[in-house]
Each structure stands twice: as structure tokens, then as C-alpha cells.
Amino acid sequence: MIHMLLPAGDRRIFLAWFLLCLASLALLWSVTEPIRGPYEQIDPGVAKGLFWKQAMWMLLSYVVLLGTSRASLRFLENVAIPFFLVSILLLVLILAIGPKIGGARRWLALGPMRLQPSELAKVAFVLVTSGLLGRAMEGGRSLAAMSLSFVLMAAPMLLVLREPDLGTSLVFLAMWGGMVFWYGLPGILILGAGSAALSAVIMFYSESVVQQALPWGVYIVLLVGVLAVARLAILAKVSLLAANVATGIGIPFFWDKLQPYQQERILTFFDPGRDAFGSGYQAIQSRVAIGSGGLFGTHYLQGTQKGLAFLPERHTDFIFSVAGEELGFFGAVALLGLFAVIIGRGIEHATVARRPFARFLAIGVVSYFTFHVFVNVAITTGLLPVTGLPLPLLSYGGSNLLSSSILLGLLLNVSSRSFDD
């Protein structure tokens, strides 16, 4: 009987899921508790009802985790295309009739609950791309399959970007990057993408921060020197240089397409003090909260940054800051260690799985968690601009918890069938 209540597959991954869910409930209880002083109680500013809602979402997430861990991989592969088409339809629908909340259209109302279609689209994308690349690998790798996978990625990414939700749209790119790398993306393309991204960052810094083209010009000169002595074909050298120049020149045009609040967040990342009580407020208060925790934390329920409501979005995007304040460095590292278990075990299962579809499922899940955790922690510690990306399994939010649990269920499924043909 107990065996039927446990999901199939790697017990360590399931234990990490369970412990992260418990930690989430503990942190959400903390952010909804008032600070009790000698003369008064200070309202935390976050309703206690959010804790109970998240608890209900966790029960539902456990059910879907259990189901997806035991489902037939053949069945999952067969339903991938219809599921993906439905997710695209929902993303189109939300842009047409979805309510505008906080300047964005991201949710569909389902009675008392709200569903974020972009979260389900992540699961659908992993399934459909795993099927595509898996079939292509069985028949011999082809560039056509990789190109089609890019189209499958671009469709939900662009629709989510229109909501607008920049952070979530980049998750699709990250998952696609991890899966095509596993598929066998040529090294020259990886080098080209990396150098082009660096060119874009340096151009942005030149144009928008220091307001002179010298840094980008120096980078291009150095790149020409490196390419001159590199042992690459002439066509590869020219292509790399062209990609770097094109992305650099294209940054000003891309910058003009961003929303004003997105521009301000990026500029504030380089100089938080430019708007310390506006767009730079979240980043500053997050660093203060984490720094005040020290090695062992201020102790559970005793965090003043979250308790006095200095820290915005403390129950969602900045919940790691609450963990850093109340649990300290060691507590925060312990939580990251649980994510490391999921990621490490996922890579191991992708390595030993026999079926290509299973391998790509595992890598898609690993890429999802790696990107979400890295970006969220980098944002809360001030290493990246604020983009609004939750920390899976810890942040408040039913849709993200549900999609993260489904993806972990898929990973557990792969781990239980690693040696199946």
C-alpha cells in the first residue's frame, strides 16, 4: 500500500522534491506571520491565505508527480504534439481575452484559482522536443530536426514575450539550448552564440551605461586578433566576426523594443543607486536581507527585512532572500544542495538511459531547473538584473509548482526506465 503512494524512480530526487516543498511551506508561513514586538504586532503585508493555497497546490502537485512518474513513456511521446498545440492555443487565447494584471496578460481564471499557460507550455515543449530530437537521433542526426526544434522553441517564447514576460520567455531558450547541446550542436555554433552574446552585453554597456563605443570597439579589435591566429576555416572566422558585429549593432534596436520598466531594471542593475527607492529598491533590499543573515541566520520567523515588509515580492521571486536572512549562509546552501541533487541525478539518468526520448526528457528537465535556480539566485544576490523568475518548488505560485512537479515526475519516470529499450 505504501509503495503505491510513492512515485516510481529515483528516491533521492523525490526526497529532494519533498524537502523543498516542506521548506517552501515553512518560508511561506514565516512571511505571513506578523512580527511580535513588546507593544504591538506588525502586519507582514502577505495574507495567511496564500500559505493554505500553496498547501493545496502541493497536494495536487504530488498527485501529478505520482501520475507522470508511472505513465508510459510511449504514451507521453504520443500525446506530446496535441499537448503542445493546446498550450500554444492557450498562449494565443490569453493574449486575446486574458485579464490584464499588473500591466501583463499571463493568467487564465479557473474559478477561485488562476492558471498560467506559459508554465504548462514549458512541459509541452520539453515533451515535443524530446520526441523530435529522439526520433532524429535514432535515424541519424540531422540539421533539419535541430532547425525544427528551434521553431518549436520560438513559438511559445515569442508568445510569452508578448504578455510581456521576459524571464519566462528565456526559460524556453535555455531548455532548447540544453537539449540541442545534448543532441550534438557543433562546437563552432556554441562558440558563435557565446561570443555574440558577449558582444551584445559589451555593446549595451558601451551605449547605455558609459555612453561611448570604445569598450565594444576594443572587444571587436581583440576578437579580430584572436580569429587571425585561430586554427579555423576562413568561412568560420568570417561567420564568427559577422555574428558578433551583427548582434552588437542590433542591440540598440532591441533596446528600443523593451518596455520602459525593463530598460530601467537593466540600467539599475549596473547602478542600483540611480533609483534606490524605485526600480533599484528590490535588488538593494534583497542584498541587505541576505547579508544580514550571516552564517547562521537571524533565526526562523525573526527576519526583519521580510517582517517589516522592506523586501518586496518576498513570497514569490525573492523567497531565497528570506531563506538567506532567516536560515543564513548554511541554510541557503542546504537548499541549493537539494537542487544540486535533482540536477546531478538528472544528468546521470540522461547519461545511462537507452531510449533517446528518455535522454532528452531528462536533459530538458535538468536545463529547466538549472536555468531557474541560477537566474533566481543571481537576481536575489545582485548578479543579474531583476526579471521576475520564481525559484521552483520554493516560491509561491501554483502554476509553477505544478509544472515543476510534472517535470520532476517525468525525470522520475526516466530514472525508473533507464535500461528499457
Q: For the chain, give the mean pLDDT.
A: 83
Distance between terminal CA atoms of the chain?
29
pLDDT digits (tens, 9 = 90+) for 205-237: 777 666 777 888 888 899 899 888 887 788 888
- Rounded distance between C-alpha atoms, residue 204 and residue 206, angstroms: 5
Predicted pLDDT at 197: 79
- Residue that is written with C-alpha cell 498550450 in the block: 87
Write the burial class of residue 378 (CB in 10 Å: 0-12 exposed, 13-18 middle, 19+ buried): middle
Q: How far apart, in whole angstroms, are the C-alpha atoms of residue 24 and residue 377?
A: 15
Backbone CA torsion sign across 346, 352, 357, 360: positive
For 292-349, what is each residue's pLDDT tens digit? 777 887 877 776 665 555 667 777 888 888 888 888 899 999 999 999 999 999 999 9
Confidence of residue 49 (pLDDT cuts 50, 70, 90): confident
Question: Model's pTM, two decimal places?
Answer: 0.84
Tell me the average pLDDT across 112-128: 89
- Percentage of the chain lying above the pLDDT 90 cut: 37
Residue scoring higher pLDDT (227 or 359)? 359
Enter the C-alpha cell of residue 71.
505513465
The answer to whether the beta carbons of residues 306 and 322 sit under 8 Å apart is yes
- Give the model's pLDDT for residue 251: 79
